[in-house]
Every structure is written in structure tokens, then in C-alpha cells.
Amino acid sequence: MKVPRTFGQFVVSCILCCFVSGSFAQTSPKLTISKIPPASVQVNWTNQVGISYHVQFTTNLTKPFSPLEDAFSADPLVTVYASTALNPIGFFRIQVPTNSSTANVQIFSPSNSLTVSGEISVNMGAQLGTQVQGVNLYLDSALVGYLNSGGMSFNLDTTHFINGQHTIYVGAVDSGNNETLSSSITLDFENSVRWLDADTLFNSFMPIDVTADFFPADWLVTVTDTNNTIVRTITGSTSDGNISTAWDGTDDNGQPLPVENFYQINVDVTSSGSSSMMMASSMASKLGATSVSSALNSHGVPEFTVQKPAPNPLTAYLATLQIYNNLTPIERFIYPPLPEQPANDPYATTTIKMSARDLFLALHKSSNQATARTAMASPNASGSGSGSTGAAVWWENSWSSAQTIIARVPISGAYGTSISTFCNQLSALIENAADTVGNNRGVFQTTVQLIQSSSDLSNLTNNIATANVRAFYFNGHGNTNSIGTTTATVSAKNLGTVLGNYYQPFKAGKLLTISTHKPFSFVFLDGCDMGLGDFPETFGIPKAATSQSYENYHKHKRNFMGWTGPVTFQFNNVHFSWTQKFWTTWLNDPSYDKSIKDAVDTANANNPSVLNNVPIIRYGSDTMTWSD
């Protein structure tokens, strides 16, 4: 269908290509086009809810169409815009994929091998055989972005990662929980100010480690809550560009802030003479002040007193009197009485008290480099420069390790008997360990759960959500985003919703953070492809967090393990042997202080073919022990 519309010199042709079959056979999409002043056009069309769509654009029908927007929507009405100032003539094409479409996912921008800084947009497109339920963004194989509605575009803050080359790719998940990955691109991150650890969770305190390429410099940390209120400020200076401090979860009055909440941390850095006092002196100079002094307030936060010339009090009084004399009698009745006439004092001063935060922000506003997130100062330069980096963090509630769920699916034959026997042996090992490590650390319901029906799977989901369960071992069927039997599965997305562990944006989608209402200490999904999807985040174990962050910063360590491809248990027992060796190594230590890395290394040495076949992948703390 081709529907031309003419708006002055702007001609728009919309070509709607709808290939809808099977369960997607609904009302055909309809298009409307309207001119949006001053220089853009708006295209609306009725969408089939949950179905991905592809909007393409060209200025000339003799040229190929290029992607304008690829997305999926929960809304029945979709709106896209195009500039009429840049393109006086344009043609749109809107496509809905079909069940027979060849799966294809790609990154449209940025281009490969670019040098980038600050916040960038990663735009992707997906052509899948069924509807899209989510898209993932991966950086160096760690999940750093997730969308489940709207346009397929990610905001990625490159200042939250170390400088240098990074590999980026995206994945689209269809309604069957199958993830299709794009080819990867390599980008070179170059930021003058950058966060050193991309962690987004904390229990008792949040470490803040930032480096700047210009120094000496003064820095300001601001913590903002979901009401956009600055609740805490920390200031300091650095002589070598390294900034290391921490936030303990309290406000500027030393009062604890709410747990299980999002907070945004910004670190602003400005080159200076190396001290906050010199910043104050610089600000006093800009204000034309006569003097400046500094002292700590009752909360231990630097506060500066700046004295500067003020208008002659008599001059101000006479200006007010002139206004008063022009008022009507009724207006004078409601006007506040005039104060007594002050003395003529041309040397009057006014005193201004500024917090370190106010002072720092005032300096930024008075500089041409104010809040320049992408400013590129020369490395190791002592000249002027400024920049910032940010993070959205989630304050977890206190939680204990507690009990372990062991579950398996039935497998026929001798191999199934071996699996059953092993799971019972594992249960006994955990019960024996509970006598030493304590803290209610036994097997949940003291039994191995057999999962062979949808009802069993539902019970398993309910048990996983039980408050005193914090560890989970599952031996059975699965793929990148679901576990269960051959006939019934539960998706990672739904399980994450039940547990309250999922990614969500902080402040209009600018910063993506995982919220963890019920995180797990340890999860081992012992089945096909289970280490490749969203399961780590489902159980509150983010892929993006480094092992160091768990070792140094978190009250509770955590770890996730899963296989990186199909594991053909029915044809060989190599992976089963690996599993046995791992568990017996980790749990046969009398003091239960063997690290998970040591147990994995031992299992790898015992079954080296696993490394070349379908190796294990793990996220979280390398040093975590069963005692942890």
C-alpha cells in the first residue's frame, strides 16, 4: 500500500509491508501522517501489540532503504519522526516480520573501530521469526543493558568502564526464549575521567574508585535519590588523579537512608591548585570577594564563608522608597511597612556561606568546561580540565546464605540412576557441612526435588522464592533463558520477576541497574546453554560485576555457574564427571574454606576435555567458599 501525502515542499510516501500469518493475523496496521512544525514529520501506525516492527527510510526510491527505527511495543499506537529540514522528500517503509522470517540481529551504530567517550547510543535491529520479548546489550561478554519495550536503542555510559578497546554485541530474545546474537564490534573508550569498577550493588558501603587524566584536581561526589534530591556530598582533592573513597549509605547528617532503593552517584572532577580551600579562593576571586575562610560544620562537611561588597544599604532603601511612593493608598495598606532608614555606608559587606558542594558546582558553572562529560584533557596534564563519571547503584537489604535447593529431572536408564544417586550424595554432603558452617545451611526440605511435570515446576518456583533459600543446584533440561522438563519450562524473565531480581532503568532510562530483592549466594544450572542467557541476573548475580568487587566490597559473596553450549549427557559422562569432581572438591574440605576457583580448577584438571568441548562459565566471586 502506498499513501502519498504532500506538505508544502515535503512529499512523503509510506510503503507498508505486512506479512502476518498464523496467530498474528489481526487487524491490518493503518498509517497516518502529519506535519509537526517546524521541520519534522510524524508517522503513526496501529501496531499489533508485542510484535516487532521495522521502519526504514530513503530519500529516493532508486536507493536502498536504510533503517530508521527497529523496535517492539506494548502499545497499540506507534509514532516515529523524521526531519523535513534535512530531507525535503522521503519515503517510509514499515515491515512486520513473519513466522518464516530468517532470524537476523545487527548493530546499526556506532560503527566498528570508532573511538568514543561519554554517553553513547547503541542502535540495533532485529528480524525474528516470532515476536521480540527483549533485547540484550553485551560488553566484553557481560550483560550491561536490557530492554523489554520501546525502541531498540541503548544508552551506554563509557565513563563507567576502563579506557581501551571493548567488544560490544547485542542479542534479541523471542517469545520462545531463544536468543539470536549479532556480530560484534570493537570500540575504543577514551575518557579523561572514568569509574574503575562497573559494580552497581552494595550492602554496607559503596566503594568509589575513579581516575582522572588531569591533576592536581579537586573532586566532588554527590549521591542523589529517586526524588532527584542530593542526599550526600563528599569532597576531596587528588595529586595524582586517583580518587578512592566510599559512601556508607548515610546522608549529610549521618542518618541511614532507605535500603532496597536506587541511588545515583556522580563524581565531578576539576583541575585546581590541589585543595578545596584554593577552590574557594578561586571562587572568591570570581565573585570579587574581600575575604574567604573555611571551617567544618557540625556534620564534618567543609563550609566556606565568603565576604563580598554589597550595595550601600541606603541606596537599596531609597530604591524601595521610590516604589512605595508610587503605590495607591489601598496598595500601601497591604504593602509591608518600610524599615527604618539605614545609615549611609558605602563600605557595607554581605556574608555568604557556601557548602563544598555549592562551591564546586558554582565553579563548574563559571567555567566553559562545566560538566563536560566528554571533555578530553591531555594525559597527566597539570593545566585546566574537568569531567565527570556516574553510576546508578542499588542498596541491598541484609540477607543470609541459608538453605540449598537440589532439583533434577528424571532421565531413563543407567545414566539416570547415576544422576539420582549423585544428587542424593550431594544432599548428604551439604547436610554434613551444615553441622560445621551452621546458619541453617542444610538442604531445603531435606530432599532432592524431582521435576517431571508442570506442577512440579510450579512448586520449584515457589520454593526458590522462599525466604530461607539462597542456593540452587539444578540438573536437567534448559536453554539460554528457561529451565524445566522437555514439556514444561519456566523462563528466566518470569523467575526474575518472582524473585524481584531484574534490570530496570534509573531516571528515564539513562542508567541501567539491577535491583535485587532476593539475591542468591550460589547457583549452578547443570544443563545445556544455561550460562549464556539472563539467569545470573535472575538470581541477583550480575555478569558485569568483577570478582574483585565481591572480594572487597560486598558483605555477601555470590557466584553463578552454567554451561556454554549443549551438553550431551546421554552420549558421554565427561560433564557429569566434572560436576561430581567440582562438588566433592568444594564440599569435602573439613573446614569448608576451599575457594570456588580452586574447585573449578581441580574439576578442569580431572576432565580437561571439557575445556575444549563445552566449558563451564561462572560469574561472581572467585574466592567464595562454602563457608561464605
Q: Is the pLDDT of residue 587 over 50?
A: yes
Same domain, 607 and 478: yes
The beta strand positions in 258-309, using DSSP E, are: 261-271, 291-296, 302-309
Same domain, 536 and 481: yes
Q: How far is the C-alpha of 594 from the C-alpha of 622, rounded, in Å?
A: 11
How does pLDDT run across 171-182, given as a tens digit for each residue? 887 776 677 888
Q: Which three cell numbers stand for residue 486?
A: 522437555
DSSP symbol at 471: E
Name residue 186's beta-bridge partners.
Answer: 167
What average pLDDT does the segment 489-512 reach? 79
Domain CATH number, residue 90: 2.60.40
Q: How far is the C-alpha of 292 from the C-alpha of 284, rounded, in Å?
A: 7
Which has the minimum average pLDDT: 192-206, 439-453, 519-533? Answer: 192-206
Asked if the structure places residue 448 within a domain, the reply is: yes
CA–CA distances in Å: residue 551 to residues 203, 594, 621: 13, 15, 6
What average pLDDT does the segment 261-278 reach? 74
Would you state the torsion angle of the CA atoms of residues 376, 377, 379, 380, taken in this order, to the nearest 10 degrees? -160
> pLDDT class for 532, splitting at 50, 70, 90?
confident
Same domain, 388 and 514: no
Same domain, 224 and 364: yes
How does pLDDT run across 478-497, given as a tens digit for each residue? 888 889 998 889 988 889 98
Name residue, grid cell 556508607: 248
287 Cβ neighbours under 8 A, 6+ residues apart: 306, 308, 352
Domain CATH number, residue 157: 2.60.40.10
Name residue, grid cell 560436576: 579
**Three-class DSSP category at 200:** coil
Dihedral sign for Cα 478, 483, 484, 488, please.
negative
Q: Is the pLDDT of residue 589 over 90?
A: no
> pLDDT class for 374, splitting at 50, 70, 90?
very low
Q: Is residue 122 within 8 Å of residue 105, measured between CB atoms? A: no
Asked if the structure places residue 625 within a domain, the reply is: no
Q: Is the pLDDT of residue 438 over 60?
A: yes
Q: Is the pLDDT of residue 100 over 60?
A: no
Same domain, 163 and 67: no
Name residue 503's beta-bridge partners.
Answer: 514
**Angle, alpha carbons 457-459-461 (nearest 5°):** 70
Same domain, 270 and 356: yes
Q: How far is the C-alpha of 152 from the C-alpha of 123, rounded, in Å?
A: 6
Name residue, grid cell 526464549: 177
Q: What Rg value do the Cα atoms of the chain yield, rounded? A: 31
Asked if the structure places residue 133 within a domain, the reply is: yes
Q: Which three cell numbers stand for residue 266?
A: 556522580
Residue of higher predicted confidence among 6 and 236: 236
Q: Which three cell numbers stand for residue 386?
A: 574537568
Name residue, grid cell 537599596: 316
Same domain, 519 and 588: yes
Number of H helices, E strands in the chain: 12, 40
Q: Which three cell numbers stand for residue 330?
A: 489601598
Q: Is the pLDDT of residue 167 over 80?
A: yes
Q: How far is the C-alpha of 585 from the C-alpha of 589, rounded, in Å?
A: 7
> So what's the pLDDT on residue 288?
65
Same domain, 31 and 148: no
Question: What count of other Cβ atoms lies within 10 Å of the Cβ of residue 146?
Answer: 21
**Three-class DSSP category at 248:** coil
Same domain, 384 and 486: no
Q: Which of 60, 78, 96 is the last residue of a domain?
A: 96
Q: Is residue 304 within 8 Å of residue 359, measured between CB atoms? A: yes
Asked if the structure places residue 132 within a domain, the reply is: yes
Asked if the structure places residue 517 within a domain, the reply is: yes
Q: Which three cell numbers stand for residue 255?
A: 542518618
> So what's the pLDDT on residue 36?
67
Whole-model pTM over 0.85 = no
Q: How far is the C-alpha of 317 from the C-alpha of 338, rounded, in Å?
A: 9
Kindly state the greatest CA–CA separation across the chain: 105
Q: How many domains does the chain have?
A: 5
> pLDDT class for 568, splitting at 50, 70, 90?
low
Structural domain boundaries, residue 224: 204-305+352-395
> pLDDT class for 278, splitting at 50, 70, 90?
low
Asked if the structure places residue 508 within a domain, the reply is: yes
CA–CA distances in Å: residue 213 to residues 144, 335, 368, 372, 383: 25, 57, 18, 14, 11
Q: How far is the C-alpha of 440 from the C-alpha of 318, rounded, in Å?
A: 79
**Average pLDDT along the chain:** 77
Domain CATH number, residue 457: 3.40.50
> So what's the pLDDT on residue 363?
55
Same domain, 421 and 558: yes
Burial class (CB in 10 A: 0-12, 13-18, 19+), 500: middle
Asked if the structure places residue 197 within a domain, the reply is: no
Is the previous residue joined to 110 through a cis bond, with omega within 30 degrees of 0?
Answer: yes
Residue of higher predicted confidence among 463 and 69: 463
Domain CATH number, residue 282: 2.60.40.4070
Q: What crossing angle do the helices spanning 276-287 and 356-365 adopt, rounded to 10°?
A: 50
Asked if the structure places residue 626 within a domain, the reply is: no
Question: What count of other Cβ atoms lies within 10 Å of the Cβ of residue 102?
Answer: 8
Q: What sections of 380-491 are H helices per DSSP? A: 413-437, 454-464
What average pLDDT does the segment 508-534 reach? 84
CA–CA distances in Å: residue 311 to residues 315, 324, 351, 490: 7, 19, 13, 72
Q: How far is the C-alpha of 138 from the C-alpha of 534, rounded, in Å?
A: 11
Burial class (CB in 10 A: 0-12, 13-18, 19+), 8: exposed
Name residue, grid cell 560538566: 371
Same domain, 432 and 376: no
> So what's the pLDDT on residue 1?
27
**Amino acid letter at 250?**
T
Q: What is the spatial order of strands in the sheet that 489-491 belongs to?
A: 477-479, 482-484, 489-491
Same domain, 467 and 362: no
Q: How far is the C-alpha of 255 from the C-alpha of 424, rounded, in Å?
A: 49
DSSP-based helix, strand, coil % in the chain, nearest 5: 20, 40, 40
Q: Is residue 127 within 8 Å of residue 102, measured between CB atoms? A: yes
